[in-house]
């Protein structure tokens, strides 16, 4: 329970997310850090405390598992080494996270079919109505052109001024959508072309064997990614919450890779394939989300959809080289922190996510999910629990006419409980307090102040933080002004060398 003054730990989400999303995320954090972890730590004199704050794959004694020993030089599963070291173990918090990761995924699907079904149906009907209106307009245009080419030309020009061209905005009557409805949609052909270019390039890379996944699993990744866009987009639209789906993708890849239909016995079984599969399947959704997010910005700023589309392409062309250069800098400067040979007092460079990928890949790809579920048979019940929870809430809301129960979104709660908090849990209490003040108090009781300043300040805080970060990196951290070595700030009470945020492990 600590307070953070670091904006990177608070983020502008506290000024953008609906208040019920902020509350659910805080409840998920509290359930994990204030209830589950202390229980695992002290129940029956620490019966479940082994590896509690460690998300590595573990040996039976709690030491980190030597995962590299499980891969032969031919990139095959080393069964001899596995027999020697024994099965892979996970700490209690990590198992807690996996259970609720599965539950969150199932909950997202069921929530769409229950609470989201009406919205989904209405959206489909609006799109169909727009299509019919378009067909009617085209028929009318052709008929008038045949009857009287001279008089119809002036009539058509008048109709075109008032014709609603945007499929979504034309279905709503508010001022912003009315203004935006005159802009043409991005043609479907543009998206198809973009997909075909990406599909061709990625297919070439896979068929040449440059990355470690079989082509059949690649096709499944694209299909799963396309299907999951709808429930994930629904969740994001109503809550501004992005559900991480990497663990389920890695599990699904692990199930497929054990089947000879997807991978023959003589083929290589590289654990990195799980992360690549997750990147392909996950990016189908993540990229779709960014497209929707930018189109929403275009709607509010009255930027034509086609211009937004080109700005996204231009941004990617600029961003990819910058991301690659940043990755190379991280590997050259921070590799020891990522490998765990050095400890970062700020706990920003911990490699925690990479450790998750590595542990999941070894368990799902090399060993197989069946071994995980045989050792921890309660884990698959996460899917059942995640499916039943929204059904129960939906049933209660219908029986007792409690419409506000729709805000008890189990997907957000379970996803927050699936986060591994490691040795620090910084910023979550601060997020909740600031979010309560801004998104509850100001939003409900100071509407004029909220409307005038909230979103501008959120953007200003993010911009100021990023500019400050860039300045500190260039002047103090890059070594460009200190003969190649970054400046080391003096240690004092506010800059504890063991934990800059003064948040310590149990």
17 part of a folded domain = no
Whether residue 99 contacts residue 376, with contact meaning beta carbons closer than 8 Å, is answered with: no
Cα 471–Cα 476–Cα 477 angle in degrees, nearest 5: 95
271 part of a folded domain = yes
31 part of a folded domain = no
pLDDT tens digits for 304-321?
Answer: 999 999 999 999 899 889
pLDDT tens digits for 323-361?
Answer: 898 888 888 888 888 887 887 766 677 788 888 888 998
**Over 70: is that where the pLDDT of 150 sits?**
no
Chain centre to alpha carbon of residue 52? 25
Number of domains in the chain: 1
pLDDT tens digits for 475-498?
Answer: 887 777 767 677 777 888 877 777
288 part of a folded domain = yes
pLDDT of residue 152: 46
**Tokens standing for residue 451:** 């409307």
- Which helix (H) or strand (E) is 231 found in, with range? helix 215-239
The residues, ordered by sequence, that sit 6+ positions from 24 with a Cβ below 8 Å of its Cβ are 408, 409, 412, 413, 416
264 part of a folded domain = yes
460 part of a folded domain = no
208 part of a folded domain = yes
Mean pLDDT of the chain: 85
Instruction: Give the dihedral of Cα atoms 27, 241, 388, 96; nearest 10 deg.
Output: -50
Strand partners, 89: 58
User: What is the extent of the structural domain holding 354?
Assistant: 54-422
Q: How far is CA 299 from CA 163, 183, 246, 497, in A?
A: 18, 10, 31, 47
Give the confidence band of 93 by pLDDT, cuts at 50, 70, 90: very high
pLDDT tens digits for 383-417?
Answer: 999 999 999 999 999 999 888 899 999 999 999 99
Chain centre to alpha carbon of residue 69? 31
CA distance 247 to 5: 31
443 part of a folded domain = no
């Amino acid at each position: 329970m600590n307070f953070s003054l670091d904006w990177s730990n608070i983020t502008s989400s506290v000024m953008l997310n609906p208040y019920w999303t902020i509350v659910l995320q805080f409840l998920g954090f509290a359930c994990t850090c204030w209830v589950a972890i202390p229980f695992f730590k002290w129940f029956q004199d620490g019966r479940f405390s082994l590896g509690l704050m460690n998300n590595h794959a573990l040996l039976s004694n709690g030491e980190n598992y030597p995962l590299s020993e499980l891969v032969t030089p031919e990139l095959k599963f080393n069964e001899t080494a596995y027999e020697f070291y024994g099965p892979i173990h996970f700490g209690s918090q990590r198992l807690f996270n996996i259970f609720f990761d599965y539950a969150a995924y199932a909950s997202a699907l069921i929530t769409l079919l229950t609470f989201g079904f009406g919205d989904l149906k209405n959206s489909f009907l609006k799109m169909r109505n727009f299509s019919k209106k378009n067909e009617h307009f085209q028929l009318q245009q052709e008929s008038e052109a045949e009857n009287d080419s001279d008089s119809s030309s002036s009539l058509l020009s008048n109709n075109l001024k008032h014709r609603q061209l945007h499929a979504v905005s034309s279905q709503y009557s508010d001022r912003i959508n009315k203004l935006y409805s005159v802009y043409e949609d991005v043609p479907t052909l543009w998206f198809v072309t973009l997909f075909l270019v990406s599909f061709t390039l990625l297919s070439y890379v896979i068929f040449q064997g440059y990355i470690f996944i079989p082509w059949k699993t690649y096709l499944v990744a694209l299909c799963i990614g396309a299907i999951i866009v709808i429930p994930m987009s629904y969740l994001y639209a109503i809550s501004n919450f992005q559900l991480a789906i990497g663990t389920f993708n890695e599990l699904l890849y692990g199930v497929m890779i054990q089947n000879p239909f997807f991978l023959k016995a003589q083929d290589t079984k590289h654990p990195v394939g799980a992360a690549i599969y997750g990147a392909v399947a996950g990016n189908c959704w993540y990229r779709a989300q960014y497209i929707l997010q930018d189109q929403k910005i275009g709607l509010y700023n009255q930027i034509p959809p086609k211009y937004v589309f080109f700005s996204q392409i231009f941004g990617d062309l600029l961003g990819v080289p910058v991301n690659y250069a940043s990755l190379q800098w991280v590997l050259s400067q921070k590799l020891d922190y990522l490998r765990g040979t050095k400890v970062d007092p700020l706990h920003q460079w911990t490699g925690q996510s990479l450790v998750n990928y590595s542990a999941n890949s070894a368990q799902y790809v090399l060993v197989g999910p069946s071994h995980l579920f045989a050792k921890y048979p309660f884990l698959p019940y996460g899917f059942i629990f995640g499916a039943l929870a929204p059904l129960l809430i939906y049933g209660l809301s219908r029986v007792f006419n409690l419409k506000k129960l729709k805000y008890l979104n189990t997907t957000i709660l379970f996803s927050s409980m699936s986060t591994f908090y490691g040795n620090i849990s910084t910023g979550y209490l601060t997020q909740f307090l600031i979010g309560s003040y801004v998104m509850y108090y100001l939003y409900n009781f100071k509407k004029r102040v909220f409307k005038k300043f909230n979103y501008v300040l959120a953007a200003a805080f993010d911009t100021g933080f990023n500019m400050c970060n860039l300045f500190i990196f260039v002047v103090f951290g890059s070594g460009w002004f200190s003969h190649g070595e970054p400046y080391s700030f003096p240690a004092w009470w506010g800059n504890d060398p063991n934990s800059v945020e003064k948040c310590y492990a149990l």
